[in-house]
Structure 1
Amino acid sequence: MMFFLLSLCTPLHLFSQQLALKTNLLYGATTTMNIGGEMGFRSRWSLDVSANLNPWSFAENRKFKHWLVQPELRRWNCETFNRAFWGVHLLGGQFNVGNLDLPMGLFPSLRTTRYEGWMVGGGVSYGYHWYLAPHWNIEATIGIGYIYTRSNTFECMYCGRATHKGVIRHYFGPTRIGLSVVYLFNHK
């Protein structure tokens, strides 16, 4: 009886939840295994969580090892899983990277130095969903923000002795990028 009275006094808006499973093709192109899930709630809100793992070492001891988790709260301009959205995301993970020559001169010290440590950060993002077929969408997203890292630095790619310990770095710039294939489970 008490529940019934409270329900009359409290406006309840129940929306059917929508669920999506996705994979980021850009991360896949870097040999990073990834999977994401997203749950729509309310009429224009969703929560996206992605997990990424790259456990590989490459020829000539090049390393791009990392794991990363990125939750994001999204506000859709139209309706959930339809067209444009804005997001606020967090990120956290660990890395072991070095002996890499990244395009456009990004992080030039990675050519001669290896970094092993952890990171946390966050930012804002914008994205767009394109309808392909019932249950299938394509999603593009880009985000900018801040990342705090703490790592040990290794000058020698093959030796195990750290030259600097506990190096703190602050990064401002792109924190999220994606071109994902999305499967919607309970599409309208």
Structure 2
Amino acid sequence: MKLKLFIVAILISLLGTGNDAKAQEAAVKTNILSDVILSPSIGVEVALADKWTAELTGQINAWTINEHNWKHWLLQPEARYWFCQRFSGHFVGAHILGGQYNFGNLHNNIKFLGTDFSKLTDERHQGWYGGAGIAYGYSWILDRRWNVEAEIGIGWVYTHYDVYRCANCGKKIRSNQHHNYFGPTKAAINLIYTF
């Protein structure tokens, strides 16, 4: 029991140590919005210069829920410029993104900025995507190590995919389809630990 308390005390002291006057150099984060819709995310951000940071975010959903197929993975690197100091206040960013997806049996009637998502009600689309965008965000300091950040991005995404008759069957009905999407490319409310 004493050994466990000793180890816990050491871990707490290590997490709490640091020079308050030194600027933060790195952060780990998770996007609460994607976590809530069961697409867990993890991000790492590092300082490059006084007002510049670089971020790499990954997201994955590898399961089917209630026969709704929403499988995908995403990598999204971003360069950020901070208006005041890094990891605090207003920032703008430029990002690229890429990944793969397998969507189907998603009952909806959504048509948004030239993209007809209602096709995913009776079809399954499987393919890859890549794109780029710009973003604006703001980071609030909660205490010495914890921040909350909100960010929204817009841009372009190119998709290349095959179409299958339904979410659970394997009969391909169209090959080598493509689509250009313009609109939101990023929406995040991040919980952040800085060090």
Normalised by the length of structure 2, the TM-score is 0.83
Question: What is the percentage of aligned positions where both structures have the same residue?
Answer: 39
Residues 138/117 of structure 1: CA separation in 2 closer, same or farther (3 Å cut)? same
Instruction: Determine whether 1:42 maps to 2:49.
Output: yes
> Structure 2 counterpart of 1:92, which letter?
G
Distance 1:91 1:102 in 2: 25
Instruction: Determine whether 1:72 maps to 2:78.
Output: yes
Shift of residue 113, structure 1, vs aligned partner: 1.3
Distance 1:80 1:93 in 2: 28
Instruction: Determine whether 1:165 maps to 2:175.
Output: yes
Shift of residue 104, structure 1, vs aligned partner: 5.6
Shift of residue 105, structure 1, vs aligned partner: 5.2
Residues 135/16 of structure 1: CA separation in 2 closer, same or farther (3 Å cut)? closer
Residues 82/74 of structure 1: CA separation in 2 closer, same or farther (3 Å cut)? same
Contact 1:17–1:41, Cα closer than 8 Å, also in 2:
no
| Equivalent in the alignment of 1:184 | 194
Residues 102/136 of structure 1: CA separation in 2 closer, same or farther (3 Å cut)? farther
| Equivalent in the alignment of 2:11 | none
| Equivalent in the alignment of 1:81 | 87
Shift of residue 101, structure 1, vs aligned partner: 3.1
| Equivalent in the alignment of 1:19 | 26
Counterpart among 21, 33, 49 of residue 40 in structure 2: 33
> Structure 2, unaligned stretches of length 5 or more?
1-21
Counterpart among 137, 154, 171 of residue 164 in structure 2: 154
Q: How many residues align?
A: 170
| Equivalent in the alignment of 1:112 | 122
Instruction: Determine whether 1:57 maps to 2:61.
Output: no
Contact 1:65–1:95, Cα closer than 8 Å, also in 2:
yes
Shift of residue 121, structure 1, vs aligned partner: 0.3
**How far does the alpha carbon of each residue in 1:32-70 deviate from its partner, in whole angstroms, 9 at most, with x for none?**
1210000012110000100111001111x2111000000
> Structure 1, unaligned stretches of length 5 or more?
1-14
| Equivalent in the alignment of 1:10 | none
- Comparing 113-122 with 97-106, greater Cα deviation is found at 97-106
User: RMSD in angstroms over aligned alpha carbons?
Assistant: 1.6
| Equivalent in the alignment of 1:8 | none
Normalised by the length of structure 1, the TM-score is 0.86
Q: Give the match's secondary structure for 2:167.
A: coil
Contact 2:104–2:166, Cα closer than 8 Å, also in 1:
no
Shift of residue 16, structure 1, vs aligned partner: 6.6
Contact 2:29–2:43, Cα closer than 8 Å, also in 1:
yes
Counterpart among 142, 151, 165 of residue 132 in structure 1: 142
Instruction: Determine whether 1:100 maps to 2:106.
Output: yes
Distance 1:174 1:183 in 2: 26
Distance 2:109 2:57 in 1: 25
